[in-house]
Structure 1
Amino acid sequence: MNRLSHKVYDDPELSSLAVSLPEVALSSKACNTSKKYQRSYNSWSKWARQHSLVVFPANDVDFSLYLVSLIQSCNSPSTVDEAFYGMKWANDLAGNLNNPCSSFLVKSVREALHRILGHRVSRKEPVTPEILFKLVNVFGDTDSSNCYKLRGTSPLSYTRARELILDMFEHIGLDKSKFGLHSLRSGGASAAANAGVSDRLFKRHRRWKSEKAKDSYVKDDIDKRLLVSKCLGL
């Protein structure tokens, strides 16, 4: 926001308008989007300072190295995209005409990381009915005042909800690195598929619009996988 916040006007009206300009410019994106981009840019800033690099304006080679470093800690191209668009957002707002995200090198590295991470699929295990029963037996409470609110006056963030459920998995002896919040969604889909519920019905129930989205959540049990061989008489 350099160019927006450091411009000085002698005219009082222009000066007042200049003060509000950064806030107006930030409103060009949804609040959550701006916060996400800000977090991504802050991550770059922290990494750059750790390596004694210039934070702003960023060098395209330095930023490319940062993008490459992300593959050591992430399994999804979305993390790379957040870093890319966070940098682009910050430089566009600051009026930097030499935005590193316009660099052919940065664009090529981003595309390459998409290819690399696109093959790094780490599916979480589904939560089976047996696991759910065990969780209820250990943590069940009939007192509704002890329930966590996912929405309402005291919302529970996705991150906090994930921390809580993973701690519960660990408490009952499961490897929490193999599970996530989507394990609950996957568990419901897998249980329905393995119980013989038609794809059309549970696809509609879970509001999946494509077969690919639906299939990514289903883990067939061993009997279903062996059914193909049995039908072929093998």
Structure 2
Amino acid sequence: MVVALLLCAFSIFNFVGVLAQGAWKLIDQLEDPELKDLASRLPQTILHSRASNTVKKYLGAFRRWKLWAVGHNLSPIPARPHEFALYLQYIGETKGSKSAAEEACNAVSWVHSSAGLPPLLSDSFVKATLEGLRRSLAKPVVKKEPATVEMLEAIVEDAERSGSLSDLRLATACLLGFSGFMRAAEVLELRPCDCIVSGEMMKIRITGSKTDQLRQGDELLVARTKSRTCPVAMLERYMAINHISQDDQRYFFRPIQKMKSGEKLRESGRISVTCLRDLFNRKIAALGFPAREFGLHSLRAGGATAAANVKVPDRLFKRHGRWKSENAKDGYIKDSVESRLEVSKSLGL
């Protein structure tokens, strides 16, 4: 999957003309066979400077800039600051989104850097234009509400009542996301060989995460709670029903195939984040929860909020959620009324 994405990215990378600019132009003039051999593998190394999904997003944004620039007889690469500033103005007026302008800046700056050209974000004119768009297009951030234990209990109860494999799959994914403070993408990447149950706990190996820039992986511990919503017991039940062995290399959360005899997981693939989001939103709406107020990130935020409000030590809290900074961690927590009242109660008044 990653190799295919990189090969696709490489073809686009070459297409946009990066390999004929800046440092690449100088490399192309080398005559030493050994150096030429090294140079042939250098573009793929450059593509590894960002996560594969980020590269895909950047190349898409650069392609949109290229189409606009060519349509106005401008140079897409190297991009001239004053011309690119006009493109940012165009994005601001047509998209009305500061994030689209930021993505364009980051993408073209990265492509410039990949060719050994000065990044556009270092130009004062471009910086001033982007900052102006950030301020004029800024909108208040509306975060999704954290999921609650009551919501998970309702999802689990519904799965037990229906006996549906789809409902069991959703309940298992939700419990893992909540208990492990996991992002949806991390949950969907899990394989049986990544999860080892040992007595009263389960070890989960996180092989890839957006905060794991060096791809070193991480280990997550989840306790067996012996309750109806125990994530360990639910995963064991999911594995037993689907005859999944501990050393299975396939994804846990694969698409479901409907048969005359019932439902079963497909042999390969995995469901997408979009698919899981739709299943989650439809389920909580059917259970009477306001679906618009929740999303898949509500599971990570819900687990973090529940832990914070029972005063889990900060160091363990950060490690469990794999947060690198206090600001990142605090953004997930919605303090309870009781916790907030502790501030004034402690003043000695």
- Fold conserved (TM > 0.5)? yes
| 1:169 is aligned to 2:281 | no
Compute the displacement of 1:144 (Å). 8.7
2:325 is matched with which residue? 210
What CA distance in whole angstroms lies between the structure 1 residues aligned with 2:301 and 2:138?
Answer: 20
| 1:109 is aligned to 2:129 | yes
Task: State the AA in 1 paired with 2:158.
Answer: V
What CA distance in whole angstroms lies between the structure 1 residues aligned with 2:278 and 2:167?
Answer: 20
Listed one character per residue, the Cα deviations across residues 57-91 of structure 1 (whole Å, up to 9, x for unaligned) are 373243121442487346x5xx5433213234556
Matched-pair contact (CA < 8 Å) for 1:64–1:105: no
Compute the displacement of 1:117 (Å). 7.3
| 1:138 is aligned to 2:195 | no
Compute the displacement of 1:113 (Å). 4.3
2:4 is matched with which residue? none
Task: State the AA in 2 paired with 1:35.
Answer: K
| 1:29 is aligned to 2:50 | no
Listed one character per residue, the Cα deviations across residues 8-32 of structure 1 (whole Å, up to 9, x for unaligned) are xxxxxxxxxxxxx999636521271
Structure (1 or 2) with the greater strand fraction: 2
| 1:85 is aligned to 2:106 | yes
In structure 1, runs of 5+ residues without a counterpart are: 6-20
- Describe the SS at the equivalent of 1:180: coil
> Quick one: structure 1 residues 29 and 117, their matched pair in 2 at CA, closer, same or farther if it must change by over 3 Å?
farther
> Quick one: structure 1 residues 190 and 111, their matched pair in 2 at CA, closer, same or farther if it must change by over 3 Å?
same
| 1:224 is aligned to 2:244 | no
2:146 is matched with which residue? 126
- Describe the SS at the equivalent of 2:188: coil
| 1:72 is aligned to 2:96 | yes
Compute the displacement of 1:233 (Å). 7.1
Compute the displacement of 1:126 (Å). 0.5
Q: How many residue pairs were aligned? A: 219
Matched-pair contact (CA < 8 Å) for 1:64–1:109: yes
Greater shift, 199-208 or 152-161, is seen at: 152-161
What CA distance in whole angstroms lies between the structure 2 residues aligned with 1:174 and 1:53?
Answer: 50
Compute the displacement of 1:55 (Å). 7.4
Listed one character per residue, the Cα deviations across residues 166-192 of structure 1 (whole Å, up to 9, x for unaligned) are 333333344444323221111111112
What CA distance in whole angstroms lies between the structure 1 residues aligned with 2:145 and 2:95?
Answer: 22
Matched-pair contact (CA < 8 Å) for 2:159–2:167: no
> Quick one: structure 1 residues 215 and 118, their matched pair in 2 at CA, closer, same or farther if it must change by over 3 Å?
farther
What CA distance in whole angstroms lies between the structure 1 residues aligned with 2:334 and 2:107?
Answer: 35
> Quick one: structure 1 residues 29 and 111, their matched pair in 2 at CA, closer, same or farther if it must change by over 3 Å?
farther
What CA distance in whole angstroms lies between the structure 1 residues aligned with 2:156 and 2:122?
Answer: 52
Compute the displacement of 1:164 (Å). 3.4
What CA distance in whole angstroms lies between the structure 2 residues aligned with 1:136 and 1:114?
Answer: 43
Structure (1 or 2) with the greater helix fraction: 1
Matched-pair contact (CA < 8 Å) for 2:97–2:137: no
TM-score of the two chains, using structure 1 as the length reference? 0.66
What CA distance in whole angstroms lies between the structure 1 residues aligned with 2:60 and 2:108?
Answer: 10
What CA distance in whole angstroms lies between the structure 1 residues aligned with 2:19 and 2:147?
Answer: 50
Task: State the AA in 1 paired with 2:155.
Answer: L
> Quick one: structure 1 residues 204 and 102, their matched pair in 2 at CA, closer, same or farther if it must change by over 3 Å?
closer
Task: State the AA in 2 paired with 1:171.
Answer: A
What CA distance in whole angstroms lies between the structure 1 residues aligned with 2:324 and 2:155?
Answer: 31
Compute the displacement of 1:221 (Å). 1.4
Task: State the AA in 1 paired with 2:59.
Answer: Q
What CA distance in whole angstroms lies between the structure 2 residues aligned with 1:63 and 1:43?
Answer: 10
What CA distance in whole angstroms lies between the structure 1 residues aligned with 2:327 and 2:113?
Answer: 36
TM-score of the two chains, using structure 2 as the length reference? 0.48
2:256 is matched with which residue? none
